[in-house]
């Protein structure tokens, strides 16, 4: 069935407007690994600088692993009750993705070899600055995190982004490579109550036209 642009826009905007942070979950609600992977695949379609895809996902998809995560997340019960929890990790060495990302584009004729060489020079120059790599990891992984939550909302799942956790403990407990830095946790599940609508600042206070 063909869908008009106006209808498509309405559906996307509705998803964005209706998503709320959910903190109380039905502990017995289950999400299949297949559907969870579908959501993560959509998250992986997020935009990123130079298309380097600066994210990695650590999926907690059983109560045993979620209970291990619980004290690391300061015993926030949603972590134990959600159907799954995704730790979104930022890639500090996304510059190492240059060949895996660009070689296929060159092979398929989507990118001339000289453009790849130019991008490679730009990327490696930028990543000579350690702070740039850290900032890029957070910025780009956050785009994937938001896309994950919107995809979940579109599929009927509730979510909550969590910044309150101990990143050092997460790294140690789950043996996370030093290539990655924890950015946030995202709970995914079925809410047991309708989340309240949060107040928002007047957009006119937040926009400056120049």
134-145 tens-digit pLDDT: 999 999 999 999
> What's the domain range around 43?
32-194
Does the residue 12 lie in any domain? no
pLDDT digit string (tens) for 90-116? Answer: 999 999 999 999 999 999 999 999 999
Instruction: Please report, rounded to a whole number, the percentage of residues in the chain having pLDDT higher than 90.
Output: 90
78/155 Cα distance (integer angstroms): 20
- 98 part of a folded domain: yes
Number of domains in the chain: 1
Residue 205 maps to a domain = no
Residue 3 lies in a domain: no
Average pLDDT on 188-196 reads 90
For the entire predicted model, the pTM comes to 0.92
Query: Is position 171 within any domain?
Result: yes
Is residue 69 one of the residues assigned to a domain? yes
CATH number for 58: 3.40.109.10
Q: What is the pLDDT of residue 198?
A: 84
> Which pLDDT score is estimated for 9?
64
Tens-digit pLDDT profile for residues 172-191: 999 999 999 999 999 999 99
Q: Is residue 41 part of a domain?
A: yes
Q: Which residue has the tokens 């996902």?
A: 57
SS3 87: strand
Residue 74 has pLDDT above 90, yes or no: yes
Tell me the backbone φ, ψ of residue 189, rounded to 5 degrees.
180, -165
Residue 122's pLDDT band (cuts 50, 70, 90): very high
Average pLDDT of span 69-75 = 98
**For residues 58-70, average pLDDT:** 98
Statement: residue 1 has pLDDT above 50 = no
* Cα dist from 159 to 89, 156, 191, whole Å: 17, 10, 8
Residue 7 pLDDT: 74
Q: Quick check: is 66 in a domain?
A: yes
Task: Specify the DSSP class assigned to residue 78.
Answer: H
Quick one: tokens of 111?
């990118």
pLDDT band at 194 (very low <50, low <70, confident <90, very high): confident
């Amino acid at each position: 069935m063909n869908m008009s642009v106006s209808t498509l826009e309405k559906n996307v905007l509705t998803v964005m407007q209706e998503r709320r942070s959910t903190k109380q979950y039905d502990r017995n609600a289950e999400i299949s690994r297949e559907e969870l992977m579908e959501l993560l695949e959509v998250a992986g379609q997020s935009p990123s600088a130079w298309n380097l895809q600066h994210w990695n996902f650590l999926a907690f998809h059983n109560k045993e692993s979620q209970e291990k995560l619980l004290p690391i997340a300061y015993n926030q019960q949603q972590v134990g009750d959600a159907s799954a929890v995704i730790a979104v990790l930022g890639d500090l060495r996304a510059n190492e993705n240059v060949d895996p990302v660009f070689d296929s584009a060159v092979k398929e004729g989507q990118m001339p070899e000289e453009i790849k060489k130019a991008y490679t020079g730009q990327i490696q120059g930028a990543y000579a600055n350690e702070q740039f790599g850290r900032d890029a990891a957070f910025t780009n992984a956050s785009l994937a995190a938001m896309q994950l939550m919107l995809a979940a909302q579109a599929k009927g799942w509730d979510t909550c982004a969590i910044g309150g956790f101990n990143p050092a403990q997460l790294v140690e407990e789950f043996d996370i490579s030093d290539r990655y830095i924890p950015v946030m946790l995202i709970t995914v599940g079925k809410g047991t109550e309708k989340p309240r609508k949060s107040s928002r600042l007047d957009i006119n206070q937040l926009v400056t036209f120049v």
